[in-house]
Structure 1
Amino acid sequence: MLSALLKKNLIVFQLIPVVGYTDLKNKYGKLDDSISNVMMLGCGSMVDLESFLGIDVNSYLDKEFYDSVITPQSSSQIDQTDLKLTRKIYIIDGHRPWNLDNLFGSQLVNCFDDGTAREELEEEKAAYNYLISIEGEEGEPVNEEEKEQAESDIEDLAGSDDDGSENRGSDSEDSGSAHPSESSRKRTSSSSQPSAKKKRTQIKDNERKIEDYYNQGTTVTTSSSLQMYTLLSTIGESNIDYLWLSIIGTTSLNASFGNVYDEIAPLLKEEVNRLQADYSSSNSGSPDTDLGKKADNHSLQIDKEYSLFLLRHWNLYDSFFYSNYVNSKLQLYTTEGKKKLKTMFARMGISLVSACQNWHYLDLDLKRRINSIFTKNLAQLGLTDVIRDGFIRNFGFHGSISAGDFVEAVTALLEYDGDLGSSRKENGRTGTPPDDKEGSAEPEETADKLTRLIAKREAQFISNFWKAYDSLTRFELVIKGISIAKLQQKFIFEKGFEILQKRMIKNLRIFRLVVLKDSFTSNSTITDISINNFAPSRHSALIGSANSAASSALNEKDTVDFHTLGSRQKLFQNPLILTKLGNWILEACAEMDGSPLPLVIASLDIDTGTYLVCGLPPKYPNMKGLDEKLDEKQRRDKTTVLNTFSLAFQEIANSTGAKARIDSFESSIIEIRREDLSVFLERLTLSGLV
């Protein structure tokens, strides 16, 4: 949206993808001094940018302005509350909590907020301003050691006054009178003691408020794309294309932050109805004309969406089977769950032959009745949220696609390295662990190797970013992304089934733990189940053993080598893939035992000898359609997602001395050395920080 607007107005700009905080700092440092505006989209809200980026605000003072207004006769003092700067940094980011230095304490950084900061952070703002004012007072202790020393001095003074009051009184009588300055100093110290104590109490109270705010956990409270659309709307630049992109960004939050999507969706529906009426009138002269009959139809409309995976681009059976929602509700990882799925189709009157038929070729009468069939039969199995309102965009001759399917396609392109069916040399190997000899390399050589490896992965991510970015305006890339998304979903399910069968989930006291070691992460072959094969029986064969692709006597054409980040061994070193698997596990566990425990999932990287560790907040059982009796506050409390792992990971890594790398914008993702993992997890369990 922003790029399109800048191009339209012939404004020169550069779009720079960043992988993490280190990459952000490096690329910011390379910006030309003439750059006057920097916009950070989807990052930057949770870190003090002036400090992190090493910014000296004085270096961005508008010298021409101050040279013209400051004369020898005028004061040389510059008003620090309203500086005129040659550069501004703007943050549009839904991650929370805000770094309060960005929000309240910076002249350089400007934060775009949806209004919650003004409404909900009044106490934090007052506490922040108080602490800043205290730091600015001359002679006021500004760190813990100085404050403790000051408290000790005051206590010593108070103690000496109590113990020697009589002696000082008699001495004073004998000597006639005390020295005037000494007498006044005693009175001052005595009168200032309550005031100093009160100030110390105020400092501690305000520091506690700030700490509580930062320690509450991380989350996402709004959609960055919606914020951008709102900004464009205020200057009269709203249109169907921008609204569609805003819907795509908001829909991407539905999987992990469903409560945020549910709050924003009604606003998007109102905007669709408003703009679509204008679009219909301008294109046909009458808002009632059916634009669906036009071959160049690019309308946006509200239509039924399904909690089924890529239904309009797959078949009924696979869409149900590979749906996270259906999998968790019916427990498809069990024999009983698979029987329920077959029984469900029988009750709906849909034959397995029809269920395995591509959606495009499905009987038209069945398509028309599908919503009523779902509504009548699925609630009996607890599937109360299969049908919901969604958004559909038409792309002329190419056809139409729902927002949810579009998100799956774009995300797949962001996660996937290479083309389908590629046979690059590095992917032809069997993925065996590296020789132990590599571990005997010199430390400097090892460090250089790791640096090159990290740089290679970051370059791959940038390449994937541009593929995903281009797909927003190129429908052929979306179709390719849909094909990749199907394979990725199969991969996630097969690995998830394997984890449950091997009982790799450990229920610790305060969280669940899954550790993926080399034997698990090196296997990247998944089964490509084609429509020509009988899907139900094939699925039954797949779940039979640990290595399903190897043990089910499949033909070579039935398997696909799934790779990401350049090598078969790096499957779970992609945080997006690891997070998807973690969410799949959380949803399954939520329906199994109902206990809302968070999850820590760690995946070994054989090449670097490190674990990628991801902390995910708990998920509650999906109760939509069954929890009407709950009031609004109870429903909000059940769906509010706060991730407390971000602070815990940092503190445990620091306290244990573990070699760790926290570079992701998602602060609950950390890379930690293999030998430090056990100590790290043990301390995390006992810390009480989760």
Structure 2
Amino acid sequence: MKILLNNIKECFQKILKRSEFGKTSVCIIVSLDVDAICALRILTSLLNRENLQFRMIPVSGYSEMTEAIQKCGNMYKSIILLNCGNVYDMSDFIKGDIKFFIFDSHKPINHNNVNNEKSIYIIDDGMGQLEKCPEEEIKEMSDGDEDSIDEDDSGSHSSQIQRKQQQKLQRSLRKQLIQMHEDYYSQGTYYSRPSSTVVYTLAQQMNHDCNDHLWYAILGLTDAYIHMRLNQKNYDLIFEELQNEVIRLNIHFEETQGDAKKIGGVFIENEYKFLLMRQQSLYNSMYYSSYVGTKLKLWKDRDNKRLEEFMAKLGIPLNEAKQDFRYMNQKYKQILKSQIAEVASKFQMDDILYRSFVRQSDTKIQIAASDMVYAVNAILEYPQALLSKQLMQHQCSEVIEKLKTSETAAKFQNFFCALDTLGSKSDDLFQQGVQMALEFQAALVDEANNLIENNELYPCKHFRYGILKNESPQQKKFFQHPQSLQKLALLLMDIYKEKGYKQSNKSVILVNQLGELFMVVGVVGGMSFSGQEKNQFGQYFLRKVQELNLQFRQDSFETSVIEIHKDDFPNFIDAITDFKKN
């Protein structure tokens, strides 16, 4: 059943109505991404406010989501899915009186979820193109059904003509329905409004909006933007909504004097497309920025002459640019703010600034939304085997300790640490996440430079592909996670875009050899800060492995990720060389 965003309160009221006092009636299944965890933070606050007991289960892919739902059985009245469930037919999981409530930015939404009027509730956020969604399933028609009219000579001549006309109409309607399904799904996968902003709308309608909830919505929006899941138009639209909320909820902070009185406040601020500038030197934040690095073509400028020229044009000495930004002379911070737009335009970086938000965490420190997103995302993707050593001093909060089970504690340690980072009043977890993010980005840039320098990206007709042999410590540490491999593919795609290759050659497929399996990730040209293009690789991969009858696993919520057995990979890569975006 489709619920309009403006009426999202209906979902929560249905959950409340179905809950039983003193029993755990709600199960939340949550994907391992920043937006989903931010949505979880808001949602659990709303449930706690109503004294509703709930269980939460983190999942990293379709098989874990399926297992979680099956284990739920009939124990829960309501199952809430955060950033998972939209693209799958959830009617397969309906048992008894269970109701599914899906908050998921992945699109397109499976038509059976939209059309189920009793057990599945999805949110129409206005960005999911639901007006094109087919209203019914394509029914199989056997050969006997096709020929039955022709073989039936009984009845009058007029009745035979009527039956033939009816069959002709049915065939025509079926053809139209098939075309409608094709048009709806062949566009590929894409993203709409971040789930955290959807759940924040729920908090507004429940009169429980506050700066904490607003901050989580801002982080979800920022996560979608800096990871190229939202185009500029949709980002600006949601930004305006949240900007109005920031003004409304923080007007008293603006009127107070002194940083001590502004702790907890959220403020609007232009942000640079640099990497974690407040957490390192200005120089490194620009060098390791995917945006600046590609625009200045740093992959072919190992002496960094272009970056040094940029600094010189700004009027910032290198010794100032290379020290920690916090200790950089205030004079040069002002020069950066006043001169950046003009100087950047001379280097074809007209959109080097974007509108964003910061939050006052204590009397001296403001945390940028993008910095928090990078830190939490790094914790989520950090190798599990190394996470315990990195965070050995950290103890999860009492609330999260109660929610954990022995089974999930080890398997989803990254999730619980990321969840705690968002809600922690301490700066320790955030700073450790920052260090992980800096370490990963340095590896990302280095890996991209190596692939290009060694000519390890091979051109096909409509895309390029490269293979990570998973031999170096860097590859083993940082590129086992699908999203990490996707980020590397996006960086490579932007580099080739700046090289001036035609649009059709900007798509990139990256492969990482993981033992007996090859993990394959496809990204399409057009996924950038300025735009978003629907990704058709997932459907194309699936069609080819089925045609070739290959062993495969397509388990990620990002359907453009597929795992192929190493013996089948040569046949697979040969088969997909004719890929072309519609």
Is the shorter-chain TM-score for this pair beyond 0.5, marking a shared fold? yes
Equivalent residue, structure 2, for 1:615 = 522
Equivalent residue, structure 1, for 2:487 = 580
**Residue identity in the other structure for 2:428:** E
Asked if 2 retains the 8 angstrom alpha-carbon contact of 1:414 and 1:461, the reply is no
Equivalent residue, structure 1, for 2:340 = 374
Which of 481, 486, 506 in structure 1 is aligned with 2:438? 486
Give the direction of change, closer, same or farther, for the CA distance of 1:672–1:38 in structure 2 (3 Å limit).
same
Give the direction of change, closer, same or farther, for the CA distance of 1:341–1:571 in structure 2 (3 Å limit).
closer
Which of 104, 119, 129 in structure 1 is aligned with 2:115? 104
Give the direction of change, closer, same or farther, for the CA distance of 1:185–1:569 in structure 2 (3 Å limit).
same
Asked if 2 retains the 8 angstrom alpha-carbon contact of 1:2 and 1:228, the reply is yes
CA shift for structure 1 position 415: 0.9
CA distance in 2, matches of 1:621, 1:340: 22
More strand as a share of residues: 2
Asked if 2 retains the 8 angstrom alpha-carbon contact of 1:586 and 1:619, the reply is no
CA distance in 1, matches of 2:373, 2:527: 23
Give the direction of change, closer, same or farther, for the CA distance of 1:156–1:570 in structure 2 (3 Å limit).
farther
CA distance in 2, matches of 1:407, 1:386: 19
**Residue identity in the other structure for 1:644:** Q
Give the direction of change, closer, same or farther, for the CA distance of 1:240–1:612 in structure 2 (3 Å limit).
same
Equivalent residue, structure 1, for 2:17 = none
**Seq. identity, %:** 27
CA shift for structure 1 position 676: 0.8
CA shift for structure 1 position 687: 5.7
Which of 663, 671, 674 in structure 1 is aligned with 2:563? 671
CA distance in 1, matches of 2:341, 2:579: 47
Asked if 1 retains the 8 angstrom alpha-carbon contact of 2:315 and 2:335, the reply is no
- Taking the TM superposition and a 5 Å limit, the aligned residue runs for 1:319-338 are 319-335=285-301, 338=304
CA distance in 2, matches of 1:405, 1:25: 33
CA distance in 2, matches of 1:421, 1:107: 44
- Taking the TM superposition and a 5 Å limit, the aligned residue runs for 1:643-658 are 643-658=535-550
- Taking the TM superposition and a 5 Å limit, the aligned residue runs for 1:306-325 are 306-325=272-291
CA shift for structure 1 position 387: 2.3
- Taking the TM superposition and a 5 Å limit, the aligned residue runs for 1:455-494 are 462-474=412-424, 475-494=427-446
Equivalent residue, structure 2, for 1:556 = none
CA distance in 2, matches of 1:463, 1:38: 23
Larger Rg: 1
**Residue identity in the other structure for 1:150:** D
CA shift for structure 1 position 615: 1.2
Asked if 1 retains the 8 angstrom alpha-carbon contact of 2:451 and 2:457, the reply is yes
**Residue identity in the other structure for 1:25:** T
CA shift for structure 1 position 115: 3.5
CA distance in 1, matches of 2:441, 2:576: 31
1:682 counterpart = 2:578:
no
Give the direction of change, closer, same or farther, for the CA distance of 1:573–1:420 in structure 2 (3 Å limit).
closer
1:92 counterpart = 2:103:
yes
SS of the residue 2:563 aligns to: strand
1:514 counterpart = 2:406:
no
SS of the residue 1:262 aligns to: helix
CA shift for structure 1 position 595: 2.5
Asked if 2 retains the 8 angstrom alpha-carbon contact of 1:569 and 1:605, the reply is no
Give the direction of change, closer, same or farther, for the CA distance of 1:37–1:268 in structure 2 (3 Å limit).
same
**Residue identity in the other structure for 2:537:** F
CA shift for structure 1 position 500: 0.4
Which of 185, 189, 196 in structure 2 is aligned with 1:225? 196
SS of the residue 1:333 aligns to: helix
Equivalent residue, structure 2, for 1:9 = 50
CA distance in 1, matches of 2:571, 2:477: 24
CA shift for structure 1 position 641: 1.6
**Residue identity in the other structure for 1:267:** E
CA shift for structure 1 position 121: 3.3
Residue by residue over 1:521-542, the C-alpha shift from the partner in whole angstroms, topping out at 9 and shown as x without a partner, is 22125xxxxxxxxxxxxxxxxx
CA distance in 2, matches of 1:511, 1:409: 32
**Residue identity in the other structure for 1:605:** L
Residue by residue over 1:296-341, the C-alpha shift from the partner in whole angstroms, topping out at 9 and shown as x without a partner, is 6111000121101111111111011101111111110113882111
CA distance in 1, matches of 2:522, 2:414: 24
Which of 14, 20, 35 in structure 1 is aligned with 2:76? 35
Residue by residue over 1:181-216, the C-alpha shift from the partner in whole angstroms, topping out at 9 and shown as x without a partner, is x5x344321232122112211111112102220111
Structure 1: stretches of 5+ with no match in the other structure: 61-86, 133-141, 162-181, 281-286, 425-456, 526-567, 625-638
Asked if 1 retains the 8 angstrom alpha-carbon contact of 2:127 and 2:192, the reply is no
Task: Count how many residue pairs are aligned between Structure 1 and Structure 2.
Answer: 519
Equivalent residue, structure 2, for 1:214 = 185
SS of the residue 2:559 aligns to: coil
CA distance in 2, matches of 1:604, 1:305: 37
CA distance in 1, matches of 2:255, 2:390: 52
**Residue identity in the other structure for 2:210:** N
CA distance in 1, matches of 2:442, 2:378: 12
CA shift for structure 1 position 576: 1.9
What is the TM-score with the length of structure 1 in the denominator?
Answer: 0.71
CA shift for structure 1 position 293: 2.7
What is the TM-score with the length of structure 2 in the denominator?
Answer: 0.84
Asked if 1 retains the 8 angstrom alpha-carbon contact of 2:359 and 2:368, the reply is yes
CA distance in 2, matches of 1:471, 1:358: 23
Equivalent residue, structure 2, for 1:256 = 228
Residue by residue over 1:338-394, the C-alpha shift from the partner in whole angstroms, topping out at 9 and shown as x without a partner, is 211111112222211111110111101211232112123221111222223210001
Equivalent residue, structure 1, for 2:512 = 603
Asked if 2 retains the 8 angstrom alpha-carbon contact of 1:299 and 1:394, the reply is yes
SS of the residue 1:236 aligns to: coil
Equivalent residue, structure 1, for 2:353 = 387
Give the direction of change, closer, same or farther, for the CA distance of 1:688–1:514 in structure 2 (3 Å limit).
same
Asked if 1 retains the 8 angstrom alpha-carbon contact of 2:81 and 2:102, the reply is yes
Equivalent residue, structure 2, for 1:68 = none
Equivalent residue, structure 2, for 1:205 = 176
CA distance in 2, matches of 1:376, 1:510: 36
**Residue identity in the other structure for 2:459:** N
CA distance in 1, matches of 2:567, 2:523: 23
CA distance in 2, matches of 1:688, 1:258: 23
Higher relative contact order (CA 8 A, sep 6+): 2
CA shift for structure 1 position 155: 4.9
Equivalent residue, structure 1, for 2:60 = 19
Equivalent residue, structure 1, for 2:14 = none
SS of the residue 2:462 aligns to: coil
CA distance in 1, matches of 2:110, 2:117: 11
SS of the residue 1:273 aligns to: helix
Which of 284, 288, 291 in structure 1 is aligned with 2:255? 288
SS of the residue 1:98 aligns to: coil
SS of the residue 2:58 aligns to: coil
Give the direction of change, closer, same or farther, for the CA distance of 1:492–1:31 in structure 2 (3 Å limit).
same
- Taking the TM superposition and a 5 Å limit, the aligned residue runs for 1:37-116 are 37-51=78-92, 53=93, 55-56=94-95, 59-60=96-97, 87-116=98-127
Structure 2: stretches of 5+ with no match in the other structure: 1-41, 392-406
Asked if 1 retains the 8 angstrom alpha-carbon contact of 2:271 and 2:355, the reply is yes
Asked if 2 retains the 8 angstrom alpha-carbon contact of 1:652 and 1:684, the reply is yes
Asked if 1 retains the 8 angstrom alpha-carbon contact of 2:478 and 2:484, the reply is yes
Give the direction of change, closer, same or farther, for the CA distance of 1:304–1:374 in structure 2 (3 Å limit).
same
Equivalent residue, structure 1, for 2:13 = none
CA distance in 2, matches of 1:358, 1:570: 27
- Taking the TM superposition and a 5 Å limit, the aligned residue runs for 1:116-515 are 116=127, 120-122=129-131, 124-125=133-134, 128-129=135-136, 142-144=139-141, 146=142, 148-155=143-150, 184-254=155-225, 255-259=227-231, 260-277=234-251, 279-280=252-253, 288-290=255-257, 292-294=258-260, 297-335=263-301, 338-397=304-363, 399-417=365-383, 422=389, 462-474=412-424, 475-515=427-467
Asked if 1 retains the 8 angstrom alpha-carbon contact of 2:149 and 2:163, the reply is no
CA distance in 2, matches of 1:331, 1:487: 21
CA shift for structure 1 position 619: 3.0
